[in-house]
Structure 1
């Protein structure tokens, strides 16, 4: 049983790396097997298809990533420091790093794979719910659900923009982001 878990983990690790390196559609059973150090038949022993493996591996990776971000965000004492922390973390995602590439490829593949889309949607919903709780616990009195959607979408967009403009200082965007998510939930007069 332990050996089977270790083999599955090697297959997951190989799939995650390969998605970022060659793209979702470029990953083959043979490539995964070679990277994991197993025979190609072992891939199909554990998974019905390479697509099933990619779905499982990518959602496990994404779920762990979103979970870690949500957990660490919950540790931030106020909205301002939380936004600073988020943007600081985000600056490490260049859009060309392995994690960014995997997430982008997974999002693209979800357009063709309803099961993957549903899993990603559940993860995003869970992440947004964590953000809503965090905002409310830190005094946000506006529409926390809308703010959570805005924040999550902004983070995704910043990763994409950062990949196109690596010189962009993501952390410098804290001020405008704070203005959008002011603790009282109202837009500032400067935006009117």
Structure 2
């Protein structure tokens, strides 16, 4: 059964998005070019601009597509934890699987930096993070957190970002030592 033109276009667009996601950690946000994306996706350079008005538009779509899935996965798994302490433990365990210099971490860092210069990226990424924090705040409140759940969710999200930045600079960062301070933030015993 032959695929339709629309199906082929959708497949090509996804290959371009996947290529951009892979290239950002390798060459940096500003190093991604039409030629590099086309080569990685196995298409002619003109195909990139058929699907996206600019490389920036492609990068914003690719990056926010990736971060949207990542934040959704984190939110689902974190809020499935039976308690706040278990959530902190799960989160640290999950973060320990990343080096800070792995492709996912590098892509997120590059996106944060690029968002300081690109209002569309800042807005879209900000919406995703705000949604993540709202889900975490609801989970905290449902599990008996007595303080300002919105502020605690923002602090937890910022701690995740900071931990990953520090992990890149200090590969020996001991996640076990971070559990106590994070638990204390929520009024839990070490």
TM-score range, shorter chain: over 0.9
TM-score (norm 1): 0.93
Aligned position for 1:83 = 88
Match of 1:66 among 71, 91, 96: 71
Q: Distance in 2 between matches of 1:92 and 1:23?
A: 22
| 2:9 aligns with one of 4, 7, 32 | 4
Whether the 8 Å contact between 1:162 and 1:170 is mirrored in structure 2 is no
For residue 38 of structure 1, give the secondary structure of its aligned residue in structure 2.
coil
Deviation at 1:172, TM superposition (A): 3.0
- Please state if 1:155 is matched with 2:155: no
What residue ranges of structure 1 are gaps of 5+ in the alignment?
A: none
Cα deviation for residue 56 of structure 1 reads: 0.3
Aligned 1:123-162 pairs, distance under 5 A = 123-162=128-167
| Residues 34-53 of structure 1 mapped to structure 2, 5 A cutoff | 34-53=39-58
Cα distance in structure 2, aligned partners of 1:162 and 1:171: 13
Root-mean-square deviation (CA), in Å? 1.1
1:18-29 aligned within 5 A? 18-29=23-34
Q: Secondary structure at the match of 1:77?
A: coil
- How much has 1:87 moved relative to structure 2? 0.5
Q: How many pairs does the alignment contain? A: 184
- Using the alignment, how far apart are the partners of 2:84 and 2:67 within structure 1? 24
1:181 is displaced (CA, Å) by: 1.3
Q: Which residue of 1 aligns with 2:122?
A: 117
Distance 1:27 1:107 in 2: 16
Per-residue Cα deviation, 1:55-80 (whole angstroms, up to 9, x for no partner): 00000000100010001111100000
Contact 1:91–1:171 under 8 Å retained in 2: no
List structure 1 runs of 4+ shifted beyond 3 angstroms.
none
The whole-number CA distance in structure 1 between the counterparts of 2:25 and 2:65 is 15
